[in-house]
Structure 1
Amino acid sequence: MNGCLVLAATPMGEVRDASDRLREALATADVVAAEDTRRTKHLAAALGVTITGKVVSFYDQVETTRLPALVADIEEGRTVLLVTDAGMPSVSDPGYRLVAACVAKDLPVTCLPGPSAVTTALALSGLPVERFCFDGFPPRKQGQRRSWLEALRAEPRACVFFEAPHRLADCLADAVAVLGGERRAAVCRELTKTYEEVRRGTLAELAEWAAEGVRGEITVVLEGARPVAAEPEDLVGEVERLVADGARLKDACAMVATAGVSKREVYEAVLAARKA
């Protein structure tokens, strides 16, 4: 009989978001590894489920020490269910190291999909999110946080991240300073819970709102950088470098032309620059 590691998403607040597969897994797993054992037992009780397997804690501080025993359980044919306090394991929560350890030993790993603050916030943001990146939590120190924001200045994808409520105002104020007040964003608070709130607006508007103080669990969606159309004159230097490397002038103009600037416009800009 083969053992297996099962990653399961748990409700973020609304218990009715729990799947039937999660209920079944809680009732039948040989071992339940939980970020907070008390919260997991309360969840099971709310779902009307009796956990029959062994329940062990699995949070950041004990993750490494718990790995050998859990891997051994799976090797011996047991099913280990991994759950966190809310959402999907491994997404800014414990799980990655256990998955990696199982993969290294070619042990089965599967997942019970379900609630995720990341995808829920993206859907509610009202921003273009066909392409996005997830960046966990921003750095706590201002200098590092501003460097992190600087890296997002030209990022074309929407960026979703978590933030502690007591640091949100400072984070948004830094975002205004680095990215400009007109960049759009959405702040999602207490997703799926009684006091769920989604604030949408410019970074300047959201920073002013957050300055009054915010409570609850926070997920932020930041609009991706909008493409800046190049001017033909901006591309002359690149064309001349290509020509110096042996390219024909017309071919070089075609290579550097962009969606907003045609190769003819680039060619004419190069000729004008040479005359000047």
Structure 2
Amino acid sequence: MTQEYTGSGDPAKSLELLWRNRPRPTRGPKPALTVERIVAAALRIADAEGLGAMSMRRVADELGAGAMTLYRYVPGKGELLDVMLDAVYGELPRRPIAGDWRAKLDEAARANRDLYLNHPWMLQVAVSRPPLGPNVMAKYEYELAAIEGIGLTDVEMDATVALLNGYVHGAVRSAVEARQVIQRSGMSDKEWWLAHVPHLDRIADVEKYPLASRVGSTVGAEFDAPYDSDHAFEYGLARLLDGVATLVKDRR
């Protein structure tokens, strides 16, 4: 899987693009392109074909422009990737949620999961140096607000948000991979499982692997598959929030 990194471009130029602080020409012909059109074209390519298919030349072709024309608006792929990611984060609803901090974190996790499922190429982007654009900042503000005033220190608040986002990232990766294997193999998880069931008695050694045999059989019977990404997400999210609840309770 292709791996890209945010923050790989020129920081000053990325910030200009993210916040649209680049001066617009006041004279001369009207610009043929805009940053918004370029980002939209790049997103169409990444959504349809994956991040590996997205290049400056490919985006230029999508827009019917020369590759060199793009560089008048976006310095390079690194800066473009920063703006793409910030633009996608702008799709997060960030709506007011009734209830306590747990309901709010739960909603944030689900919204992030949906975003990844809609844009799987995001899993190919490492964001240890996040693009500091308006939508990234709004996302961070929204998620921090969910746990403001519950007794955590600022450092713990940041770590809790990072923990939640890291969990969602890992859980969604499994879900996306499960979708991809179905598409590429032409066989559903249930079909794969049922094809293996008749042969399990020949390879299973219940005496040697009693727990694996028992638990694996139970899971297979429950989901008609060796794994269910939706159940795994729900279970893991609940346990993560339980852990935060324990920390909050210990502070009171």
Q: Normalising to structure 2: TM-score of the pair?
A: 0.26
Which gives a bigger RCO, structure 1 or 2 (Cα 8 Å, sep 6+)?
A: 2
Structure number having the greater helix percentage: 2
For the pair shown, the structure with the greater C-alpha radius of gyration is: 1
